[in-house]
Amino acid sequence: MAAPAKNKIFWGSLVHSKTLDELEYLHDTAVAVDAAGKMVAIEQGAGDVAKAVETLLPRLGWAEADVDVVKAKDGQFFFPGFIDTHLHASQYPNVGIFGNSTLLDWLNTYTFPLEASLSDPAKARKVYNRVIRKTLSHGTTCAAYYATVDVASTNLLADLCLAAGQRALIGRVCMDQLSPAYYRDESPAAALAATRASIAYIESVDPGMKLVRPCLTPRFAPSCSGPLMRGLGALAAERPDLPIQTHISENKNEIALVHELFPPSSTGAADDSYASVYDAFGLLTDRTILAHAVHLGEAEADLIATRGAKVSHCPCSNSAITSGAARIRWLLDKGVCCGLGTDMSGGYSPSVLEAARLAALVSRHVAMGGDEHAKLTVEEVLFLATKGGAEVVGLQREVGGFAVGMDWDVQLVGLGTVDAEGGVEGVAEGTEEDGNVDVFGWESWPDRVAKWVYNGDDRNTKKVWVRGRLVHERIHS
């Protein structure tokens, strides 16, 4: 599917987040993207594609023969690719399988056995290829992946992301305690050595970390001994170019466990909060992605804001395995940067659009608890899915919106148009190729976007590009 790198001009309607609560609609707009995948010019109101091309070519010094023109159909729009700020590639086969469990029994019953089994390279290839294709098909242009403890298959995940063209953070999972003997690092030293080995490999296959980058990944505090946490903190200081990802405050029993395992007397932490444990080990930084953050205390959230650490909100997972309802408005009001995570397989859905939808619903459940202000709008959940997510993974200068100098990590979205007899224009009955978004014709652009957020699925993501490269395309796009 990879086209040879060529200059491109994209033409049509563009929609992206201007701010947390405002979408910008750019119609009749042309975007010139160079062979390296960077936006080099944006021309609004060109009138038609021919005029836009005519204006842009001489300005950019491009010859017509060297340019591919990609035109959105009427009603379609370009939208920034989604950023999935938290998911476990290795748990993908278990999506939807969690019964009535909660975090700690879910880990032992469903999760550790599957993760351990991925040291089989054939199985890892099957699972990782599938999760990459699946998430790309849902418009996820960048994913912050947890792999497993195993270095070889973690490195394979990086190889497969490179081959498929998906931007990714790749985390070899560090865990040297409180998991079954068949699935953990043998010692802090072994965990650190394995982490360094995976970092070195990933840097060797993608020099300059243009597409994939290693991510320091202490699974979560209960899985890591003090010495391992200390070692990872030192490594984080040694490599200020690497992101860090972990979990925080997902489940009340987990929090109790952290209190028990890491009393302030053992870590030198300022207080007994979960965030302070990471902070004491040098792991609460402005490069740190904290998944969940459901049950944070006031001072703890303030500490996270002060350190500039980021939160990955995973509403699907939090509801599915009964963790709780994260207070995202409260975090945003504190200035904490938030994005969305599918958290497969705690979450069942591979779709960041579904995560956005569920973020809206969960915010309404928080509102029902008494704080009407908690409700997130369509505009806000789309911000979390794109610009917010980009900042969470440290790529806000590269991706998340349309601007000269940013990379073309973009999806083309198309919705269905209902005809007079109640069919869909251009779609054979029995295919439902345009999915479940039905446009009747009288809807405003914001209404169409709301319909997409609430009923859209991968059928509406017609094409996906990462750094200008076409990485997914529906047959009927």
Contacts to a copy of itself by CB under 8 A: 92-93, 95-97, 99-100, 122, 125-130, 132-134, 137, 319-320, 322, 324-325, 348-351, 358, 360-361, 364-365, 367-368, 375, 377-378, 418-423, 428-432, 436-438, 440, 442-443, 447, 450-455, 457-459, 472-475
Question: Measured between alpha carbons, how far is 409 from 467 in angstroms, rounded to an integer?
Answer: 5
CB nearer to a copy of itself: give 163 or 403: 163
Residue 292 to residues 303, 359, 467, Cα–Cα distance (Å): 16, 12, 29
393: tokens are: 């993974």
CB 211 within 8 A of CB 157: no
CB nearer to a copy of itself: give 62 or 128: 128
Residue 324: which residues within 8 A CB-CB, separation 6 or more? 250, 251, 252, 294, 295, 318
70: tokens are: 């990609």
CB nearer to a copy of itself: give 177 or 455: 455
Q: Maximum Cα–Cα distance for the chain, whole Å?
A: 72
DSSP string, 300-329: HHHHHHHHT-EEEE-HHHHHHTT-----HH
CB nearer to a copy of itself: give 169 or 344: 344
Residue 352 CB, shortest distance to a copy of itself, in Å, is 13
Question: Measured between alpha carbons, how far is 18 from 28 in angstroms, rounded to an integer?
Answer: 18
CB nearer to a copy of itself: give 76 or 285: 76
* Residue matched to tokens 């408005």: 329
CB nearer to a copy of itself: give 30 or 168: 168
264: tokens are: 């302030």
Residue 110 CB, shortest distance to a copy of itself, in Å, is 10
Per-residue burial over 227-264, b if 16 or more Cβ lie within 10 Å, else e, is: ebbbbbbebbeeeeebbbbbbbbbbeebbebbeebbee
Residue 135 CB, shortest distance to a copy of itself, in Å, is 11
Give the number of other CB atoms < 10 A from CB of residue 365. Answer: 13
Residue 427 CB, shortest distance to a copy of itself, in Å, is 11
Residue 131 CB, shortest distance to a copy of itself, in Å, is 8
CB nearer to a copy of itself: give 136 or 244: 136
* Bond prior to 345 in cis (omega within 30° of 0): yes
Question: Measured between alpha carbons, how far is 132 from 381 in angstroms, rounded to an integer?
Answer: 23
Residue 156 CB, shortest distance to a copy of itself, in Å, is 12
* Residue matched to tokens 């945003």: 332
Residue 153 CB, shortest distance to a copy of itself, in Å, is 14
CB nearer to a copy of itself: give 309 or 413: 413
Q: State the amino acid at position 154 in one-letter form.
A: T
CB nearer to a copy of itself: give 38 or 133: 133
Residue 246 CB, shortest distance to a copy of itself, in Å, is 23
Closest C-alpha among 26, 142, 35 to residue 387 = 142
Q: Is beta strand 39-43 parallel, antiparallel or unpaired with respect to 310-313?
A: unpaired
Q: State the amino acid at position 406 in one-letter form.
A: M
Q: Is 41 helix (H, G, I), strand (E, B) or coil?
A: strand
Residue 377 CB, shortest distance to a copy of itself, in Å, is 6
